[in-house]
Structure 1
């Protein structure tokens, strides 16, 4: 019974076209002009492999931050695209970071292994302390969400839904080449 309730919550919280709407436009992807960009909070915490990670260590790099859960079907579908983008852009000054939320850590580690994800993934604990720092950037119900942070630590692009490699690559091409 508890498993069924947890699954129902997980599916209800998983974003997508049938997910809950938010004031920032659930299901959208938007690029922000340089003068309209807002700072991204420099999060820190523990990764799925137990290491400490502080996003401040990536200052000066473009970052792709993806919120996901192993229980989320759109997250499962987009994971190979994100890994492909990570491999294509890691030598171009781009750092990928995942934020695993509302998940069982063993299942999350299995997901990362199965999808062969090579970039670090922070664990958002039961208190959702990382997710709550993203209020106003993404909806707490929007999983998956992908955010591209420019070299100045500001939000350049955001998708409040599942993404494809082509979308992420096009957005990164623009952000990476900006002065």
Structure 2
């Protein structure tokens, strides 16, 4: 995996209101093991209703995707994330979505339309989940995707739309780590 290699792409992301943190807009960055910092294991209500605590996924690689039904890049990348989930769920990888700035029926309709089978946390009107990610991701870049290694540290982050191929490459590299 490239050590802190920043790949600049045109910002294919939706903006939004909320706390400003524009560092790295439109980029994807892989972090070397020594540069990784801990990801806060979030918990909250899912679109399906039950509570989810990301601590239950400790020891797995976790792909976290922040999305909104109102966001065209999120709509385009959703099938890629479902493909990642299906291809890697038996290889110690968990995908978790975080829906933001939607009402629950709108978000449920999006998840049903895109046939998302992985759990999706709901960041309510108070923004309680995303506020825990200040300094980790740009709170106004939606979509954003973060890959967390088996030790609970951030290994890769994209502040833009992603593809299956690039996430799969990162997951394959993480699987090779000892």
Deviation at 1:175, TM superposition (A): 1.1
Partner of 1:22: 22
Q: Structure 2: how far apart are the matches of 1:97 and 1:176?
A: 18
Partner of 1:17: none
Question: Tell me, what secondary structure is at the counterpart of 1:129?
Answer: coil
Q: Structure 1: how far apart are the matches of 2:15 and 2:135?
A: 20
Deviation at 1:12, TM superposition (A): 3.9
Unaligned segments of structure 2, at least 5 residues: 1-13
Partner of 1:13: 16
Q: Structure 2: how far apart are the matches of 1:168 and 1:126?
A: 29
Q: Structure 2: how far apart are the matches of 1:156 and 1:12?
A: 24
- CA 1:12/1:156 → structure 2, altered by over 3 Å: closer, same or farther? closer
Q: Structure 2: how far apart are the matches of 1:126 and 1:177?
A: 39
Deviation string for 1:59-93 (max 9, x for gaps)? 00000000000000000000001101111000000
Matched, 1:68 2:67: yes
- CA 1:21/1:131 → structure 2, altered by over 3 Å: closer, same or farther? closer
Q: Structure 1: how far apart are the matches of 2:105 and 2:32?
A: 40
Could you tell me the TM-score, scaled by structure 1's length? 0.88
Could you tell me the TM-score, scaled by structure 2's length? 0.89
Q: Structure 2: how far apart are the matches of 1:177 and 1:49?
A: 34
Q: Structure 2: how far apart are the matches of 1:21 and 1:29?
A: 16
- CA RMSD of the aligned region, Å? 1.4
- CA 1:137/1:21 → structure 2, altered by over 3 Å: closer, same or farther? closer
Q: Structure 2: how far apart are the matches of 1:158 and 1:65?
A: 9
What does residue range 54-93 of structure 1 map to in structure 2 within 5 Å? 54-93=53-92
CA contact (8 A) 2:21 2:134 kept: no
Partner of 1:50: 49
Deviation at 1:21, TM superposition (A): 7.9
CA contact (8 A) 2:15 2:142 kept: no
Q: Structure 1: how far apart are the matches of 2:21 and 2:100?
A: 19
The list of structure 1 runs, each at least 4 consecutive aligned residues, that deviate by more than 6 angstroms after superposition, is none
Q: Structure 1: how far apart are the matches of 2:71 and 2:16?
A: 9
